[in-house]
Amino acid sequence: MKKLLGAVSAIALMMSAGQALADCDDGEIVIKFSHVTADSGHPKGDAARAIAERINKDMNGKACMEVYPSSTLFDDDKVMEALLLGDVQVAAPSLSKFEAYTKKYRLFDLPFLFSNMESVNRFTQGPVGQELLGAIEDKGYTGLGYVYNGLKHFSANKPLMLPTDAHGLKFRVQTSDVAVAMIEAMDASAQKLAFKEVYGALQTGVVDGQENTWSNIYKQKFFEVQDGITETNHQLLTYLAITSTEWLDSLPQDVREQFVTIFAEEVTAANAKAEEINEKAKEGILAAGGTIRQLTPEERREWVETMRPVWDQFEDDIGKDVIAAAVDANS
């Protein structure tokens, strides 16, 4: 009984830490997927669970996937190294977090680049987007696919209707130099912080504001410690699912092919649900008493005009042709 209680409390502890359990059998190849967001009702959390469920069903006896959400295993900065060390096999950091590995992904952070998620899909599934999947191959990583979240919005401890309202404020950003430049374009300052530190930093006033998607703002409860959110749709949040090339190449061919196929199919299915998940999160914020502010077309133009010069700063790193292909995907 004592043993049973011990086992029950160990499981409860793992569950409370947000760890998704999988029933891996001896002899199965264990695939650990570590990420930082909520494990359900979130585009990445839902995608990871769907991939794991399918692998655990279709590859039973050969391979087994365990998902570790909510930064329970690694932060996005540590996970890159963990992949190469073989401590985890799959991660999906946002494209804003690859600064140390390639400057090509700066493209995805350019403010007001994509009009909507259909444009994002056209670009990522087109030739230029597919070629970019391989931009960190020389660092030992294989891109398994783009996992969508959505477009981001600004929030702060005061109403933000125009970029000038942000003067002098400090915003949390991801580890992205484009995001820093974008914040500085508003005469505000930026602080790079890990995702799991954002709520505390907003609550204690270490930063005044942040920018994220509806699903992240809702699931991390950022709206609780902000005056309101302005629906700016100013920048994309999308993830790159990656693995270590060495690990992938070490798999028996049939296992590798089945894993890559399942991964791609489940990511496509999950991506088709990302917008709906974000809409539900937006409704959740309103239902929980959060404030959402809409911009008039004139106000929106001010935001675009303030941030658009940021593109010029990063054009050489990204490539004019790549930016042009992304812009084309809007039409």
Q: Interface with ligand LMR by CB under 6 A: which residues?
A: 36-37, 44, 94, 149, 174, 195, 212, 216, 237
CB of 220 to ligand LMR, least distance (A): 8
Residue placing its CB nearer to ligand LMR in the complex, 96 or 306: 96
Residue placing its CB nearer to ligand LMR in the complex, 108 or 195: 195
Residue placing its CB nearer to ligand LMR in the complex, 235 or 244: 235
CB of 176 to ligand LMR, least distance (A): 9
CA distance 39 to 47: 9
Residue placing its CB nearer to ligand LMR in the complex, 56 or 232: 232
Task: Give the pair of three-digit tokens for residue 119.
Answer: 């444009």
CB of 126 to ligand LMR, least distance (A): 24
CB of 56 to ligand LMR, least distance (A): 23
Q: Are 227 and 156 in contact (CB under 8 A)?
A: yes
CB of 23 to ligand LMR, least distance (A): 27
Task: Give the pair of three-digit tokens for residue 317.
Answer: 């790193």
Question: What are the respective helix, strand and coil percentages of the chain, to the nearest 5?
Answer: 50, 15, 30
Residue placing its CB nearer to ligand LMR in the complex, 37 or 142: 37
Buried b (16+ CB within 10 A) or exposed e, 59-68: beebbbbbbb
Q: Are 166 and 154 in contact (CB under 8 A)?
A: yes
Residue placing its CB nearer to ligand LMR in the complex, 63 or 101: 101
Indicate if the alpha-carbon torsion angle 251, 255, 259, 260 is positive or negative.
positive
Q: Mind giving me the DSSP string for 137-148?
A: GGGTEEEEEEEE
Return the number of other C-beta atoms located less than 10 Å from residue 6's C-beta. Answer: 10
CB of 1 to ligand LMR, least distance (A): 41
